[in-house]
Amino acid sequence: MKNACQLLNGIWNNNVVGCYSTSYGFFSRVTVSTQHTGDAALQRIKQLREQIEAHNQQYYQYDAPVISDADYDALMQELLQLEQQFPELQSKDSPTHRIGAAPLESFPQVVHQVPMLSLDNAFSDEEISAFIERTQQRLNQTDIDFVAEPKLDGLAVSLIYENGILKQAATRGDGSRGEDITDNIRTMQCIPLHVTREVPALFEVRGEVYISRKGFAELNQRCQQQGKKLFANPRNAAAGSLRQLDSRVTAQRPLLFYAYGYGVFPDESLPKTQFELLQQLQAWGFPVCREIQLVNGLQGCLDNYRTMETMRPELAFDIDGVVYKVNRFDYQRQLGFVSRAPRWAIARKFPAEEAITQVIAIDVQVGRTGALTPVARLNPTTVGGVVVTNASLHNFHELRQKDIRVDDSVVIRRAGDVIPEVVRVLIDRRPETAMPYKQPEVCPVCGSGLEQEQIVVRCSAGLYCPAQRKEAIKHFASRKAMDIDGLGDKIVNQLLEAGLINTSADLYRLQLSQLIELPRFGHQSAANLLSSIENSRSTTFSRFLYALGIREVGETTAKHLAQQFSDLDALMQVDQQTLEEIDDIGPVVAQHIVSFFQQAHNREVIQQLIQAGINWEVIKPETASMPLLNQRFVLTGV
């Protein structure tokens, strides 16, 4: 199994491995024969599929292969030849579909039947203690078991099976909606295409797709040999591999999977506890992390955390913490959810790793709303497996507070193991030539004057500033806004530099003949981009409002505005006082909204967007915030 996922550290379990019988015909040498017809071919194809899937489970889940790579390849080759000879017998659950299919133009969207929620985080023993105390109080129980699961640094996915056959795989996305990655998941040898055990007619398995440290090193080595850009870390490599439009590329990546939960699942088939569920999933052929433990109470959780913290460097994969879940499902149902996270689980994160490096420059970036952000350019250094070259200094006030200077030696860390930040300056290493940083007096991009708003310094030019204009277009096209797939930073820069766009409305006037003249733009890539732009014309009111880039209007505020107003014209005419009556909107946000719609340039761009065919379904506004509207009351009393 040469082009296979990296070995899993599975647990040998005789009860589970009992599905491997001598009827599968394990032998020392395989003879390929394609002299089959009719029923004989069908029976042989079934036998080969069962054998190959059984060998996959033996290899990936239990780290105990019973035949050689050559014998495995011979089985696969025989199956391929038979399916080519008898195309009517081909099936999507066949192991041959792991090789990869023709490229897609884009990923279809999937709505999760059960939302894929995030977890609350804890960063100290005290926070874990508070979580367990709250749990005990809500359940009126003191003796509670928890399942401790390593928090893998990968990508959460959903796998839906119908009659034991993998029908759909999707990314977590925003929790409510993800991307259909079924073709890519089918290429992963460690995920069953067909569960042969007795299983519910419909069930959903959730877990993490990741790349082991060894697999990551080998992948980057191949990239280097081929002259390709190296991946920054295993998580980025896993995410990028899983979101390939060409599943044949995914098939060549060393992706692995661990199951950790469920989504849609019939009550009568669901075990009573999380630990029993994981055992059941393992018995069905799904890889389960062997470091998972069943612990009791606060002390059990704390002891487990210390153990995992010690084991972390020796693990075959990256983890950024430990997840603690209440074991009993009846307790989980009783605890329920709050906002976008369950009350019955928490993620204890490891402290961010730190490193020492040198500041080689301090640059200033101008954002979408004109805010100037100082950025430290650093000597490249590795922090938590990622090469860090830049760190945001957030604002000039923080830069002055920390007194960061060019040539300083600084301690950096990845905040939350994601965003690099400068923690402190090592003053004793400061050279005499290091001078205090001088804040710019004008916009470094367009030369316009600056405005001070508390600790934020802004360029006063608005969309006349090229930097703000570029960031506004990038925001407009972003995934949570108009979701124009393929319109990233480099392409936006290309389009602006070529003079093809000046505002977001110009995107809808682009022509194929214009795009193919640009460097590195082939006919197909240009057609794909235009297709994405065309698809974005149909959206929702809330996405459109978010895409406009109004200051302080995030996704939630945009949704509240869309719920309260029947159309765009009504919102553009609203006054500040009316806006302040809406949930989540205070005086500052209301003022930004009114000011945005009063600006002639913004109104002109909005008109151009509507004329370009941007449309959404008109939904009757909610009146929940005004429950007494149009109600009649009779008041009586003495």
CB atoms within 10 A of CB 305: 20
For 564-569, which contacts have Cβ atoms below 8 Å and span 24 or more sequence positions? 564/621, 564/622, 564/625, 565/621, 566/618, 566/620, 566/621, 567/618, 568/541, 568/544, 568/606, 568/610
Give the separation between CA 322 and CA 166, rounded to whole angstroms: 29
Q: Which two tokens stand for residue 386?
A: 């990622």
Which are the contacts of 206, defined by CB distance < 8 A and separation ≥ 6?
A: 116, 156, 157, 158, 159, 259, 260, 261, 262, 263
- The helix (H) or strand (E) run that includes residue 444 is none
Q: Which two tokens stand for residue 183?
A: 């073709």
CB of 212 closer than 8 Å to CB of 193: no
151 is catalytic: yes
Which are the contacts of 236, defined by CB distance < 8 A and separation ≥ 6?
A: none
Task: Single out the catalytic residue among 46, 92, 151, 229.
Answer: 151
Give residue 163's region: left, alpha or beta (phi > 0; psi -120 to 50): left
CB atoms within 10 A of CB 552: 14
Strand partners, 296: 145
Give the separation between CA 473 and CA 477, rounded to whole angstroms: 6
Dihedral angle, C-alpha 319, 324, 325, 327, nearest 10 °: 110
Q: Which two tokens stand for residue 106?
A: 């884009």
* Catalytic positions: 151
